Structure 1
């Protein structure tokens, strides 16, 4: 019975806040219009609110899972109108706490021991309570302060039930809603379901925190609390307790004597470092999750909290995104268009001059402003919307990055309204890319891939041997019909010498990789054995010899 009643509750709340206007022009709006007279509308100041604010209040009325739904949906600014996305981003994930005695019982059950055996003290009054979990302060036997995050009892069943309802609503929206091919309601719900299920696994969040802490070990710019793995499971996460102030608490920051301008620039640098150096970034970087360490006045430092949502990009997307940022810095619209095509982000049939014109239309108005007023996040958002006009589905990780960039730039401008984000970001990105493309970095990546090359070497040798046997016996032939392809076949038949050189080149390249990986003795040059360099040069000569000659 729960599902039908829950559906009726959702419809009642939607009509009470007059959200039927969001579906104007669809067949579903006609159904809601018939029900409207039977549901009293909100009155007073709420009735006069904009549609985005009314949607935010409706989600808050529906409960914690729908609050989380709105928060995740706010990241999809490629699908939502700007006014609605901005309102949903204001959703506060604060809900009534559940009793401390229940939290204590949950912790003891997950860890298999009574609290007294685990901690010197435990505060039953939560520090914070959210839709998925709540946090309690505790002290370990050795005196270290920690916080223990524990899942709400029965939250997994609640989430699965509400996800089922969201899927049902998505199916209705795909049939009756506006522009379902572009908004893709089912895919959005799938994305929200993945996010919610990830947050149910606190061990995953602990692993995220541990990796970020390792990436910034010894950093003067960012501090990540330590994970206490012995007191952590999928249902419980124990972290070092940290102290600071929210990054939007300007009065407290100024009272501590911290330079807000230096802090703002450092925040932008940290974002680009996480994305392009480490390819692992905090993707929920609002002020509640990013604190300021007020004990470090001369060297201000951020403190990261809540690691449930982290982002990473495929290597190829990271490369193209870095190149896109560089092209934006240089206002090279043709390059931006070409990169979108090369990355496979755009359909192959699009004319590059059309895309270049669309990119110019988006970017050029921004460049008429002072650089201190330009937000890269806004530019990226507009480029994504251009992509949608060309029937492109942007990958979720890129949307997550764009949302994080908007958060970071917004925080930077809050701390320093005159922050020139471009002036800060451009040299940081250039330096990271220079290091990633240095000979040492390339050699390091080659060494990392060496085991797979060695493993594949016997197969390559066998394939080359089989091909050469077929070629020698005349069984390696091409059957072609056009005159042009016939000439190519004749050239291939006459060029077995080139095949031999190509195989030799592969063999020498593998030999170079093996010599480098095994750190062969003898003189060294640029961190690699001379013998490896000689084999590499020999491979290059063989490949040049194998290159087809023009006659």
Structure 2
């Protein structure tokens, strides 16, 4: 076993899985050829493009859960792939059947088994949520508490680890192809793989939930479920059960706004995101409606901390500088920040990039949620970087990713909400804290020099 309980992949396992992947790809490519031929011969068939998009989604799903998860993460990286492809991949969902808990409860520890009020196997219990990596169940404890059991699917760690090893090997081959020379293909694949491995590590998620709960305690009306550490195990996460969640898909969020004070909840959600981005540096990157519930009284509940990232101090400062410069329409400072965080290529024209980014920033000043399209802005920003041979540092992309995932919920709940106005107090606080820290460090250095002998 490697770090965090992730198993090493054997050559035999990799070869067998690789053959299966090749077989799926051959079948799916043949199907694509058939689609192209049919569309070229039959008029009025609806066109090839939508069928190709559906084929891509079906192919990724057929390849298995690791490919689905990587594609979901990749769909947020408009800095790496064309916007249309990102949009297609964003429609991927964890198309998995619920796991009967009887097959997974044997991995419960003795403390949890003794604490459960009902039959410890819970064989007939259906999950309240089901995903590629784990299922979540409601259970009662003998002490009267109601808990949520997040149980990892049997064999998922080994399967995903094998697939990730294959993907990394393929990325090394792809990096040698002439069109991809100079592109950090291997580094990008490693970053995507690390994001997925983080979702497999329940010990890490326990820590993430604890950090979120502690950090967001300063933000009014935000709830994060407590973790019952003594009952958790490597494959089971035991949390406070919050049964009053109001999870709704985007088409129904408008109704939620009218019935539960959704406009105020949108402000709360943005405040939580900005607190994470600018003050804590510990960011939840997956705040879609399944993980973020907007309840009555502007209450927001955040769950499932599998995809969280701790920003370095440098990255948090740079993102704060970029966002503040954007609010005051300072395109040159925005360009300075991007150039200081991105990897430059051989043909990078920094002057042209500065000019183009300044024009982009000027076009977005003072927009509300109704008029400012963050996804469109990010797509244009990342398209500029690709065109000028710049490759974004993931530490700089993760904050944008967090806001991109949240944007749809905020737009549905409160179309007129001004992102920049909500962000301004957090930006000013972050800049002030940084200035105070620098002054204190300078004073400490001066005091240390005075105390040195001679």
For residues 358-385 of structure 1, the C-alpha deviation after alignment (integer angstroms, 9 at most, x for no partner) is 2123333445977741244543443333
For residues 274-330 of structure 1, the C-alpha deviation after alignment (integer angstroms, 9 at most, x for no partner) is 11111111111111111123xxx3x31111111111122221222122111111111
Deviation at 1:432, TM superposition (A): 3.7
Q: Which residue of 2 aligns with 1:18?
A: 32
Aligned partners of 2:434 and 2:111: how far apart in 1? 51
Aligned partners of 2:61 and 2:304: how far apart in 1? 21
Q: Does 1:284 align with 2:226?
A: no
Q: Which residue of 2 aligns with 1:250?
A: 253
Quick check: 91-100 or 373-382, which moved more? 373-382
Is the contact between residue 106 and residue 153 of structure 1 (CA under 8 Å) also seen in structure 2?
no
Q: Which residue of 2 aligns with 1:337?
A: 335
Is the contact between residue 13 and residue 58 of structure 1 (CA under 8 Å) also seen in structure 2?
no
Matches within 5 A, 1:481-500: none
Aligned partners of 1:318 and 1:207: how far apart in 2? 20
Q: For residues 88 and 433 of structure 1, do their structure 2 counterparts lie closer, same or farther at Cα, with a shift above 3 Å needed?
A: same
Q: Which residue of 1 aligns with 2:3?
A: none
Deviation at 1:173, TM superposition (A): 3.1
Q: Provide TM-score, normalisation by structure 2.
A: 0.82
The correspondence for 1:327, drawn from 321, 325, 330, is: 325
Q: Which residue of 2 aligns with 1:5?
A: 19
Matches within 5 A, 1:21-60: 49=50, 51-60=52-61
Q: Which residue of 1 aligns with 2:223?
A: 223
- Greater Rg over alpha carbons, structure: 1
Aligned partners of 1:352 and 1:392: how far apart in 2? 10
The correspondence for 2:449, drawn from 507, 512, 517, is: 507
For residues 197-225 of structure 1, the C-alpha deviation after alignment (integer angstroms, 9 at most, x for no partner) is 22222111011000100112264331000
Q: For residues 347 and 3 of structure 1, do their structure 2 counterparts lie closer, same or farther at Cα, with a shift above 3 Å needed?
A: closer
Is the contact between residue 335 and residue 358 of structure 2 (CA under 8 Å) also seen in structure 1?
no
Q: What secondary structure, in the 3-state scheme, does the structure 1 residue paired with 2:239 have? A: strand
Matches within 5 A, 1:45-84: 49=50, 51-84=52-85
Aligned partners of 1:405 and 1:182: how far apart in 2? 29
Aligned partners of 1:344 and 1:59: how far apart in 2? 29
Matches within 5 A, 1:136-535: 136-176=137-177, 179-181=179-181, 184-217=184-217, 219-242=219-242, 243-246=244-247, 248=250, 249-250=252-253, 253-254=256-257, 257-293=259-295, 297=296, 299-342=297-340, 353-367=351-365, 372-376=370-374, 378-434=376-432, 436-437=433-434, 439=436, 507-508=449-450
Q: What secondary structure, in the 3-state scheme, does the structure 2 residue paired with 1:374 have? A: coil
Aligned partners of 1:20 and 1:367: how far apart in 2? 48
Is the contact between residue 213 and residue 226 of structure 2 (CA under 8 Å) also seen in structure 1?
yes
Aligned partners of 2:265 and 2:96: how far apart in 1? 31
Q: Provide TM-score, normalisation by structure 1.
A: 0.69
In the alignment, structure 1 segments of 5+ residues that lack a partner are: 22-32, 38-43, 454-503, 512-541, 543-551
Q: What secondary structure, in the 3-state scheme, does the structure 2 residue paired with 1:373 have? A: coil
Deviation at 1:342, TM superposition (A): 4.9
Deviation at 1:251, TM superposition (A): 6.2
Quick check: 184-193 or 144-153, which moved more? 184-193
Q: For residues 347 and 18 of structure 1, do their structure 2 counterparts lie closer, same or farther at Cα, with a shift above 3 Å needed?
A: closer
In the alignment, structure 2 segments of 5+ residues that lack a partner are: 1-14, 39-44
State the superposition RMSD in angstroms.
3.4
- RCO higher in structure (CA 8 A, sep ≥6): 2
Aligned partners of 1:51 and 1:365: how far apart in 2? 34
